[in-house]
């Protein structure tokens, strides 16, 4: 599991995250919502271990996150950042193989995982292409495959199976509609396998479709939290997001659909 206890993070005189508490359980999808500058990406960087909190604690699988060795943490937790910069002429296969760097599971196994993850994101046809020549959406899918490859299979750390964690920062930002829908299926599939999924999302319909719990942030603080049904009834969502919303039930799935008034 992933747990945040009274965590705060500042940058200069700016408080990015303030006294934050959050628990993310295996098999559940947590969506972080809020306007630009709310602290969502900063929180994700704390959860990944990229940044260290000024105060408070962050726990990954019952141990404080920085107590894990980097290679141990990399076997349990993978993070797709908001922007992935890679300017070297690697092939797509080489990029996705980077997700297997923490492991010594052998070339045959690793290449099979590359194939599976590229197929999962509808990009196997790109396997031998030069990464730098891809479109923005194609690059996003390849980076998603790389991150999936890192936590694709259950793995033992310190001799025990540990919960896997997948962190996604605006994963649908460069994707067309068909691949956004595919991403929803991937997120739900990973959760069904018991993976802890936490994602920063601006698309409310994407969040309401996938998430088990919605976390609304403003100025680095948690201002509301609940299931999609609970958040539909919380006026704070409209206030913080800054738009008037209306909800209807999807005619097929029954899940909430967000309509902007």
pLDDT band at 163 (very low <50, low <70, confident <90, very high): very high
* Residues 94-120, mean pLDDT to the nearest whole number: 97
Q: Which domains does the chain have, with CATH numbers?
A: 2-260 (3.40.50.300)
Q: How far apart are CA 195 and CA 143, in angstroms?
A: 18
* Residues 124-148, mean pLDDT to the nearest whole number: 97
Element (H, E) at 137: helix 136-150
* Residues 28-46, mean pLDDT to the nearest whole number: 96
In this prediction, residue 11 carries a pLDDT of 87
27 pLDDT more than 90: yes
pLDDT band at 228 (very low <50, low <70, confident <90, very high): very high
Element (H, E) at 21: strand 14-24
The share of the chain scoring above pLDDT 90, in percent, equals: 82
Q: How far apart are CA 59 and CA 249, in angstroms?
A: 36
**Burial class of 87 by CB neighbour count within 10 A (0 to 12, 13 to 18, 19+):** exposed
Number of helical H runs and strand E runs in the chain: 9, 14
In this prediction, residue 12 carries a pLDDT of 85
In this prediction, residue 77 carries a pLDDT of 98
pLDDT band at 147 (very low <50, low <70, confident <90, very high): very high
Task: For residue range 184-225, list pLDDT tens digits in order.
Answer: 999 999 999 999 999 999 999 999 999 999 999 999 999 999
Q: What tokens appear for 191 in the block?
A: 């959760």
In this prediction, residue 223 carries a pLDDT of 96
138 pLDDT more than 90: yes
In this prediction, residue 39 carries a pLDDT of 96
**Helix (H/G/I), strand (E/B), else coil: 29:** strand
Q: What strands, in cross-sheet order, belong to the sheet with 213-218? A: 77-80, 165-169, 196-200, 29-33, 213-218, 221-226
* DSSP state letters, 196-228: EEEEE-S-HHHHHHH-SEEEEEETTEEEEEE-H
150 pLDDT more than 90: yes
* Residues 156-179, mean pLDDT to the nearest whole number: 93
Task: For residue range 85-106, list pLDDT tens digits in order.
Answer: 888 889 999 999 999 999 999 9
């Amino acid at each position: 599991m992933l747990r945040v206890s009274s965590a705060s993070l500042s940058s200069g005189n700016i408080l990015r995250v303030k006294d934050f508490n959050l628990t993310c359980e295996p098999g559940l999808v947590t969506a972080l919502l809020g306007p630009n500058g709310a602290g969502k990406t900063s929180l994700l960087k704390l959860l990944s271990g990229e940044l260290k909190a000024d105060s408070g604690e962050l726990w990954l699988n019952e141990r404080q996150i920085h107590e894990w060795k980097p290679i141990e943490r990399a076997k349990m937790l993978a993070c797709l950042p908001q922007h992935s910069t890679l300017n070297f002429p690697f092939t797509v296969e080489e990029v996705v193989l980077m997700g297997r760097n923490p492991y010594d599971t052998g070339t045959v196994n690793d290449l099979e995982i590359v194939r599976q993850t590229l197929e999962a994101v509808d990009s196997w046809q790109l396997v031998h292409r030069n990464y730098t020549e891809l479109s923005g959406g194609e690059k996003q899918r390849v980076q998603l495959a790389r991150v999936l490859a890192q936590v694709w299979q259950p793995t033992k750390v310190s001799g025990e199976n540990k919960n896997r964690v997948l962190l996604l920062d605006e994963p649908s930002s460069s994707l067309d509609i068909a691949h956004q829908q595919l991403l929803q299926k991937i997120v739900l599939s990973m959760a069904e396998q018991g993976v802890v999924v936490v994602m920063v999302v601006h698309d409310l319909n994407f969040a309401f479709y996938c998430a088990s719990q919605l976390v609304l942030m403003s100025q680095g603080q948690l201002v509301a939290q609940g299931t999609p049904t609970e958040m539909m009834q919380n006026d704070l969502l409209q206030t913080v997001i800054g738009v008037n919303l209306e909800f209807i039930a999807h005619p097929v799935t029954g899940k909430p659909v967000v309509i902007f008034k």
